[in-house]
Copies of this chain bind each other. A is one copy, B any other.
């Protein structure tokens, strides 16, 4: 028998219970072990839940879980940053294996958790924290053993991808689509974390640190969200026979890396253009395996719970490495030299600034009081320096990379 404790019974936690209820017998046949959820930590044990639970399984006392020697695995799906740090560290210190879907806490304490788990000879697994149901952490972990990874790219946030897909398909305004996304549950009441790219950034930080085998912090990553995109941009991008995605990307050359999350214009026939709605994708490149791409549901109850359970099965089969798999390469941030082709739209801003911006590129059009300019092979820093110098506020422009 394997005893599990669930920390949190929100969407993902409920999915874990449902799949385990459905698969209990077949998993017993498969693993030779009965997987039992012994306790579930919740804030309110009296709240009504629409999932089948054993009497007395709920508790609001973390101590009763972490001190229970029969419990082997903690599944942390609280989504809560402060408490989850405590749960994970205390859990590891009490020799519990950890599975978490919580990207915020993994991103913030990645090295600490990895070291602590290795020291205590338990597993710390986080497949479901990046790209929901897509199995990508494990393939990446396997490929780094026989490859040098030199690039990772991803559409990592379902909310942004949903909004951008519908804006392109329906030609509607950002605000209008955001509102619909909120009504349908694809965006939070406060969407900042998603639409400003923070969530993508955290996932990129995790992928990059694992894949490049050197520490890449949240602060190492340049960040541009999607909230300032408008219908004018969408119309222009469609006319380019392209679409737009929020892409997180790291590149490595020798020991220098660049890391950025930014709206990215991709041609209609590009792979990333086929990743729509709430789907996610991760692509990475190794020196032996070449380019690999993974596509699947970026969120959702069952896909995320499914990813949680693949980690649980690895722990049960003892098939995962309990060493700290993070590397110690000293990498140098080279973001100041990021260079590329860019799309820039600036809302009307008076004569003087206009002239300086016009110098950035060749193709330009004025439309509805805005200037749209296509910029070739230019340092991103030079563009953003000019925007800062002109004291443009974020709402007054939209800047996107053009992927060639």
Residues of A that sit less than 8 Å from B by CB: 19, 23, 26-27, 30, 133-135, 139, 142-143, 145-147, 268-271, 273-275, 283, 286-297, 300, 302-303, 305-307, 309-310, 313, 317-321
Q: Tell me if B146 and A310 are in contact (CB < 8 A).
A: yes
In the assembled complex, the Cα of A38 lies from the Cα of B134 at a distance in Å of: 38
Known: A30-B145, A135-B139. A288 touches B306 (CB 8 A): yes
Known: A139-B139, A292-B295. A286 touches B306 (CB 8 A): yes
Which of B30, B143, B305 interacts with A288 by CB under 8 Å? B305
A145 partner residues in chain B, CB cutoff 8 A = 23, 26-27, 30, 313
A27 partner residues in chain B, CB cutoff 8 A = 145-146
Q: Tell me if A268 and B271 are in contact (CB < 8 A).
A: no
Q: Tell me if B269 and A290 are in contact (CB < 8 A).
A: no
A296 partner residues in chain B, CB cutoff 8 A = 289-293
In the assembled complex, the Cα of A271 lies from the Cα of B289 at a distance in Å of: 21
A303 partner residues in chain B, CB cutoff 8 A = 288-290
In the assembled complex, the Cα of A300 lies from the Cα of B288 at a distance in Å of: 10
In the assembled complex, the Cα of A146 lies from the Cα of B320 at a distance in Å of: 18
Contacts A135-B292, A289-B302 known; 14 new A-B pairs at CB < 8 A: A23-B145, A26-B145, A30-B145, A133-B290, A135-B142, A139-B139, A143-B306, A146-B313, A269-B274, A289-B297, A289-B307, A290-B296, A290-B297, A294-B294
In the complex formed, the residue of B with least CB distance to A290 is: B297
In the assembled complex, the Cα of A261 lies from the Cα of B317 at a distance in Å of: 36
In the complex formed, the residue of B with least CB distance to A133 is: B289
In the assembled complex, the Cα of A194 lies from the Cα of B272 at a distance in Å of: 28
A147 partner residues in chain B, CB cutoff 8 A = 306
A133 partner residues in chain B, CB cutoff 8 A = 289-290, 292
In the assembled complex, the Cα of A114 lies from the Cα of B329 at a distance in Å of: 41
In the complex formed, the residue of B with least CB distance to A270 is: B274
Q: Tell me if A302 and B274 are in contact (CB < 8 A).
A: no
User: Could you say which of A26, A139, A293 has the most chain B C-beta atoms within 10 Å of its C-beta?
Assistant: A293
In the complex formed, the residue of B with least CB distance to A26 is: B145
In the complex formed, the residue of B with least CB distance to A310 is: B142
Which of B268, B309, B319 interacts with A146 by CB under 8 Å? B309
In the complex formed, the residue of B with least CB distance to A317 is: B321
Minimum C-beta distance from A160 to chain B (A): 19
Minimum C-beta distance from A27 to chain B (A): 7
8 examples of A-B residue contacts, CB within 8 angstroms = A19-B146, A19-B288, A26-B145, A139-B139, A271-B275, A290-B296, A293-B294, A293-B296
Minimum C-beta distance from A321 to chain B (A): 7
In the assembled complex, the Cα of A320 lies from the Cα of B320 at a distance in Å of: 10
